Amino acid sequence: MEFNPDWSNSSNIPGNDSVIVSLGCNTHKQWTFSLEGVTIVVTGIDCLALPLPITTTPAITTPTTTTVKTCDSCFLAQLNLTNTEHGGFAPTSGNITTDINGCANIPIICSAPGKTVHMFSNGPQLGSGSGTPNSLNVTLACNNNREWTYLTNTVITLIYCLAI
């Protein structure tokens, strides 16, 4: 509530959306308002409606976890299938396939008819064997770091074959 152009009173009664004040009439037939020992002559009254304070409750959100699968993104070009190591010969590769987990796999083959074949890598020896057709076949798996690995998650970048 505002009296005159320059005096306001916000005497709000709790639980009520209205202001109640008492006006008096002086001997000069003027409306007056008194508060804490101060009396003013009322020449105008305005009713101001202030917006109610807005209270908000923070939304409760449940964090979501998105698993980004990167084990489906390995490429043959990441492997050095070479014949330059120790007089060996280069292995061949099969097609990249996807396992039941959606991860890439690739078969690597060393073949030398009539000989015992050994397959080596920058990590462990991947195998050796003889028999018909005198070949070794190992499957590398792509990990979540987009690296080819073998059995114990050893990262494989180079493979070569030897035949004895």
Which of 81-85, 92-96, 123-127 is the most confident on average? 92-96
pLDDT of residue 75: 92
- What total number of domains does the chain contain? 2
Is the same domain home to 106 and 158?
yes
Nearest-Å Rg of the Cα atoms of the chain is: 44
pLDDT of residue 58: 75
34 plus 108 within the same structural domain:
no
pTM of the model: 0.56
Residues 30 and 89 in one domain: no
pLDDT at 134 (0 to 100): 78
> Cα separation of 103 and 143, whole Å?
8
- Contact between 159 and 119 under an 8 Å Cβ cutoff? The reply is yes
Residue 19 has pLDDT above 70, yes or no: no
Statement to judge: residues 20 and 83 lie in one domain: no
Pick the more confident residue, 128 or 72: 72
In this prediction, residue 126 carries a pLDDT of 80
Query: Which has the closest alpha carbon to 161: 55, 74, 51, 87?
Result: 87
Higher pLDDT: 70 or 104? It is 104
Whether 22 maps to a domain, the answer reads: yes
Residue 66 within a domain: no
3-state class (DSSP) for residue 99: coil
Mean pLDDT for the stretch of residues 92-105: 93
pLDDT value at residue 96: 94
The C-alpha atoms of residue 68 and residue 59 are separated, in whole angstroms, by 27
Q: Is residue 54 part of a domain?
A: no
Note the pLDDT of residue 140. 93
Q: Does residue 42 lie within any of the structural domains? A: yes
pLDDT for 114-135, tens place per residue? 788 888 888 777 877 765 567 8
* pLDDT score, position 147: 94
Q: What percent of the chain has pLDDT over 70?
A: 70
The answer to the question of residue 21 being in a domain is yes
Query: Which of 29-43, 93-107, 128-142, 148-162 is predicted with the least confidence, judged by mean pLDDT?
Result: 29-43
Q: Do both 38 and 94 map to the same domain?
A: no
Domain assignment present for 123? yes
Buried b / exposed e across 11-43, counting CB within 10 Å, b at 16+?
Answer: eeeeeeeeeeeeeeeeeeeeeebeeeeeeeebe
67 domain residue, yes or no: no
Query: 148 with 89, same domain?
Result: yes
| Parent domain of 11 | 2-46
